[in-house]
Amino acid sequence: MSSATTRKHAVVSGTVQGVGFRWWTARKADGLELAGYARNLFDGTVEVEAEGPAPAVDALVVMLRSGPPSASVTDVAVREVEPHGDEDGFRILH
């Protein structure tokens, strides 16, 4: 891998549950060849962690700010976390 591996944790707020947001995020992450997960939180937000080359992770974060057409994103809180290096692919957690 020519680029440094990074991992970012994001909490997406707005109308993001029940609109296919996790599925959409997983499709985008797969296309960028990222590892990680997306899951609904009890407060109505969606939690996303993505790991891979920094440019790809950053690209996913930009996509999260708009989301799928069915969603209405009001905020994305992002922070860097320690890469795990052990995940294979991007998963939707329930």
41-69: per-residue pLDDT in tens? 999 999 999 999 999 999 999 999 999 99
Residue 2 pLDDT more than 80?
no
7 is catalytic: no
State the pLDDT confidence band at 94, using cuts at 50, 70 and 90.
confident
40 is catalytic: yes
Beta strands at 46-53 and 5-15: parallel, antiparallel or unpaired: antiparallel
13-39: per-residue pLDDT in tens? 999 999 999 999 999 999 999 999 999
**Per-residue model confidence (pLDDT) at position 86:** 76
Q: Of 7, 27, 39, 40, which residue is the catalytic one?
A: 40
pTM of the predicted structure, to 2 decimals = 0.94
Please return the burial class of 2, using the count of CB atoms within 10 Å of its CB with bins 0-12, 13-18 and 19+: exposed
Instruction: Report whether 83 contacts 7 (CB < 8 A).
Output: yes
**Per-residue model confidence (pLDDT) at position 1:** 43
Q: Of 22, 27, 39, 65, which residue is the catalytic one?
A: 22
DSSP designation for 4: P
